[in-house]
Amino acid sequence: MDIKSKTCCFTGHRQIPPGQYNCIAGRLENEIIKLINAGVRHFYVGGALGFDTLAALTLLDLRKKHPQIRLVLVVPCLEQYRGWSEDNKKTYHLIWKKVDKVIYTDEDYRPGCVYLRNRKLVNSSDFCICYLIKPTGGTAYTVKYAKKKGLDVVNLAEDL
């Protein structure tokens, strides 16, 4: 495994089927631990519902045993969570308080701000861990962009 700048990003769908959740969570933890053991220290997460939230919570838990890792939350706008349920907002703010850094790619929501955030995630990374099951949409776009940029991509949804 060639480590350039020791950074990994995450991208995935907002919905993880309940029957796959535990499997995906286990695979995610295993892949992150492999990267930590290979020297990756910085992890960039997009802060969306679903897979992004799972990745952030997993990293926060792993940081207890691996205090050297850094978690950066990269969000498309200041009020990304507008319209979310109270439980989801509470989880988002819990994550937000515990990350090492928050980067906003725009102040206000506007068309294209999520794609700008996704490009920032990829452009800041050498590795990408994803949960991709659909060939279209934001996750598919981000994975294609990551591969085009030469990132090593691991899809946790493969061989389910």
- Across the 160 residues of the chain, what is the mean pLDDT of every consecutive 10-residue run? 72 95 97 96 96 98 97 94 95 96 93 93 96 95 97 92
Given this model, what pLDDT does residue 5 score?
Answer: 64
Q: How far is CA 94 from CA 53, 57, 88, 91, in A?
A: 11, 9, 10, 5
Give the C-alpha separation, 52 to 130, whole Å: 9
Give the C-alpha separation, 95 to 131, whole Å: 20
* Domain architecture of the chain: domains with CATH: 7-155 (3.40.50.450)
Q: Tell the burial category of 5 from Cβ atoms under 10 Å away from its Cβ (0-12, 13-18, 19+).
A: exposed
pTM of the model: 0.94
Give the C-alpha separation, 13 to 101, whole Å: 23
